[in-house]
Amino acid sequence: MTLYGSFTTTHLLYLVMAIGWTLVLSGLAFVLGSIAGFGVMLARISPRPWLRWLAMLYIEGIQGIPLLILLFIVYFGLSVYGFTLPSLVAAGLAMMVYVSAYLGDIWRGCIEAMPKPQWEASECLAMSRWQTLRLVIVPQALRLSLPPTVGFLVQIIKMTSLASVIGFVELTRAGQVINNTIFQPFLIFSLVGAFYFALCYPLSRWSETMEKKLNVANRQA
Amino acid sequence: MKYHLDFSALLPYWPVFLTGAWLTLKMTIVAVVCGVCVGTGVAFAKRGRNKLLARACAAYIEIVRNTPFLVQIFLLYFGLASFGVRMPTFAAAVLAMIINIAAYAAEIIRAGLESVPRGQIEAAECLGLSRWRIGWHVMLQPSIEKVYPALTGQFLLMMQASAMASQISAEELTAIANTVQSDTFRSLETYIVVAALYLALSLLIKLITGLLGKVLFKRRRVLRQAAARAGKPAPFASQASVASHGGAA
């Protein structure tokens, strides 16, 4: 069935299916990136100076390199060493590295925003460093970290559009493929943009309202 | 399979890489300067009395911030071309960057404007300052100073996002890397070199914006000098709650 010009329901279905792959890649990047990012955060606040320095170097280094270049390095790097991985895995790995540097930095800020007496009180209760983190600091920092983390999730969803350059068929790539056959770039990329907007806007709003609530709570305290 | 990194094949290409880095830097600077000017206008318009204009600005900011930069570039370059508006790739890339950064800058500057206490604006009105002077001296200058770290963070992200301009084959660092790697078949080495160049560029931008911040904000400079004379640490812990929401991607 044609919807507009030569744009048919088949094309629309193809785009909708591609949203699924965008979500899969976003989920993969977020989960892997959070795990690695938590490690980066721990290293960044470690009592050992060399570990702190290493983590800082990692964060500064990765944050200075565009994700696109990181993607190329992982994609070509793995292939020259003889690993032929599907583009989903290559994109997931590159995004893991990128996301971990940003999330590690965001979460470090949240942990460091916790009042110092919390640490001291835990020490007085003879809690180990790990216990303090697990039972006292992280549960409280979690509330603080939720708005920026959700805000960053929006970035992750938008970043997945870059996976199109190494041939992973997600939303942007699907748009390009359809555009190559029927050549209606304005319609197709507007539609692709609208789909991204539909994914990202609710998350942005959610992050914003959470932040506002948090600010109100902070002001009263 | 064993693979040995070999950077020697790239040696003859170093002037090409440098040209690319310069093009990226040039693009970023043009986009940032224009984008901040447009963004300031949008931020004021969003708070302005004209409800229709304020709505339009809010919609513009939300649309740009919630769609990928890559799709914006495609829409601008291929989409407009299908209506007969053809522009050179470089211009299209810079235009896309301006549109993108203006929205982010507007949101950051708006946060700064909102942090200006009402009483200060009222006091300025009582002193008989004109609307333009209130806007410039009382509202814009202090808020830019407050959100400066967030803004510069955004500039860095924009510089990185300019790599996506290679997708419409605008001449910049990444596009040049793509040509070099198809010439030399040394893809991994090429991208490692380019990554190092981007890293150097972001350090350079950090340095420039840091120095600029020191020169630009008189109040801060005076306070820092006074603190140094009194032997106390400088009074500014830069706080930027908007920073975590940035990202041009």
Domains and CATH numbers, chain A: 2-220 (1.10.3720.10)
Per-residue pLDDT at A77: 86
Kind plus residue range of the DSSP H or E element containing A4: strand A2-4
Per-residue pLDDT at A201: 95
Asked if B62 and A204 come within 8 Å (Cβ–Cβ), the reply is yes
Nearest CB to B70; choose among A63, A147, A161: A161
Chain B touched by A181 (CB under 8 Å): no
Asked if A189 and B79 come within 8 Å (Cβ–Cβ), the reply is yes
The whole-angstrom distance between B136's CA and the closest CA on chain A is 28
Asked if A65 and B199 come within 8 Å (Cβ–Cβ), the reply is yes
The whole-angstrom distance between B228's CA and the closest CA on chain A is 26
Q: What is the mean pLDDT of each run of 10 residues along chain B (249 residues)?
A: 76 89 93 95 92 95 95 92 86 94 94 90 92 90 90 92 89 88 87 94 92 83 82 57 48
The token pair at B30 is 């043009």
Asked if A64 and B65 come within 8 Å (Cβ–Cβ), the reply is no
Instruction: Name the band, by pLDDT with cuts 50, 70 and 90, for residue A1.
Output: low
Task: Report ipTM for this prediction.
Answer: 0.89
Give the nearest chain B residue to A59 (CA atoms): B199
Where does B85-233 have alpha helices with state H?
89-114, 118-126, 131-133, 141-161, 173-184, 187-216, 218-229
Please report residues of B whose CB lies closer than 8 A to that of A192: 71
The answer, yes or no, to whether residue A6 has pLDDT greater than 90, is no
Asked if A158 and B79 come within 8 Å (Cβ–Cβ), the reply is no
Residues 127-156 of B with CB under 8 A from A: 156
Pairing outcome for strands A7-8 and A2-4: antiparallel
Per-residue pLDDT at B169: 83
The whole-angstrom distance between B196's CA and the closest CA on chain A is 8
The conformation of residue A8, written as its DSSP 8-state character, comes to E
Rounded distance between C-alpha atoms, residue B97 and residue A21, angstroms: 27
Chain A touched by B68 (CB under 8 Å): yes
Kind plus residue range of the DSSP H or E element containing A2: strand A2-4
- Predicted structure pTM score: 0.87
Rounded distance between C-alpha atoms, residue B68 and residue A196, angstroms: 7
Instruction: Tell me which of 1.20.1730.10, 3.40.50.2300, 1.10.3720.10, 3.40.50.1220 is the CATH number of domain B22-231.
Output: 1.10.3720.10
Rounded distance between C-alpha atoms, residue A63 and residue A55, angstroms: 12
Instruction: Between A68 and B5, name the one with better pLDDT.
Output: A68
Task: Calculate the alpha carbon distances from B1 to A78, A79, A83, A93 in Å.
Answer: 11, 10, 9, 21
Please report residues of B whose CB lies closer than 8 A to that of A66: 160-161, 163-164, 174, 198
Nearest CB to B191; choose among A61, A64, A76: A76
Chain A touched by B85 (CB under 8 Å): no
Interface test with B, best of A165, A189, A206 (most B CBs within 10 A): A189
Closest to A72 in 3D by CA, of B107, B164, B149, B8: B164
Residues 30-89 of A with CB under 8 A from B: 61, 63-70, 72-73, 76-77, 80-82
Nearest CB to A189; choose among B3, B78, B188: B78
Asked if B199 and A196 come within 8 Å (Cβ–Cβ), the reply is no
Q: Dump pLDDT digits (tens) for A168-191.
A: 999 999 999 999 998 889 999 999
Task: Calculate the alpha carbon distances from B219 to B65, B141, B235, B240 in Å.
Answer: 32, 10, 12, 19
